[in-house]
Amino acid sequence: MEIKHVEKPAKSSRFHDFWVSFKKQKVSLISAVFLLLLFIVALFGQYFVPYDPAKVDYGQLFLKPSAAHLAGTDAYGRDIFSRILVGARISLSVGLSSVFLGALAGSALGIISGYFGKWIDSLIMRFCDILLAFPGMLLAIGIIAILGTGLMNVIFAVAIFSVPVFARIVRSSVLEMKSSLYVEAAKSTGAKDTRIILKHVLPGTFSTIIVYFTMRIGSAILIAAGLSFLGLGADPSTPEWGAMLSDGHNYLNTAPHVTIFPGLAIFLTVLAFNLLGDGLRDALDPKIKD
């Protein structure tokens, strides 16, 4: 008797389903390409910049944008385009590092708060309410006033500013999963809380964390640039976008390009992260349909 082999239809992977949904978001896809190029520039920009970003040339002060200097030169004759390319590494590093720390601490607090509830939930949420009561920039300035100036302290300040946001978002996801059948089934079999959290609850929060992580990077870059603009972040000589804005704001009437191009870099980067976050949310959230 001949046994026929029946081929089962291949199941589409989660990544395939995500990609099919994500590539429909044209604006988000363009933002992803832009950010990919920006990360390449951040990693390798120092090797192909047209000029030394730290070289001072007093014979080339305030040159307007041209073929030789695409974004012109600043008050010290330094090439602005080269400084923007090199500064991409600093701004992205600050944004990614601060949001990563904030997401790590905030997600842990959110999982503990949502899963265990009771007085632990109340204590953590009241702590988050205190942090959220302050405007983001004001809270960051207060933390910098305690820790001191410098990029490392800016990272910690922006990280603390991000903690309550992640804590509240993750808590809401955990509360929803906590009452699901598979969590209840795991509890009924006698599984420990640690195992349930790591195997069932934590994976269910990944999509939410990824979306808000992406969107939060833009806010972090904006806050970090604002602190540097106020003289509380990067050293003024550093090619950091906020510090470059601070250098150029005194010359808005005579040489506006000194401020326009760093500001444009911040604007496009923050916008790209926000648009990418919107696209990821639509692609990862099964409740959102076209």
Strand partners, 148: none
**What's this model's pTM, rounded to 2 decimal places?**
0.84
- Domains, the chain, in order of start with CATH, read 37-284 (1.10.3720.10)
φ, ψ at 205 (rounded to 5°):
-95, -5
pLDDT in tens, 117-162: 788 889 999 988 888 888 778 888 888 888 888 888 888 988 988 8
224-238 pLDDT per residue, tens: 888 888 888 777 778
For residue 6, CA distances in Å to 3, 9, 12, 13, 233 come to 9, 9, 18, 21, 65
Q: Distance from CA of residue 53 to its chain's centroid? A: 25
Coil, strand, or helix at residue 73?
strand
Q: How confident is the model at residue 285 (pLDDT cuts 50, 70, 90)?
A: low
Could you give the CA distance from residue 219 to residue 274 in angstroms, rounded to a whole number? 9
Please tell me the predicted confidence (pLDDT) of residue 5: 47
Percentage with pLDDT > 70 across the chain: 92
Query: Which residues 6+ apart lie within 8 Å of 51 measured at CB?
Result: 69, 78, 79, 82
Triad 254, 256, 262: Cα angle to 5°: 145
pLDDT tens across 197-224, in order? Answer: 787 787 878 888 888 888 889 889 998 8
* Structure token pair of residue 66: 């041209």
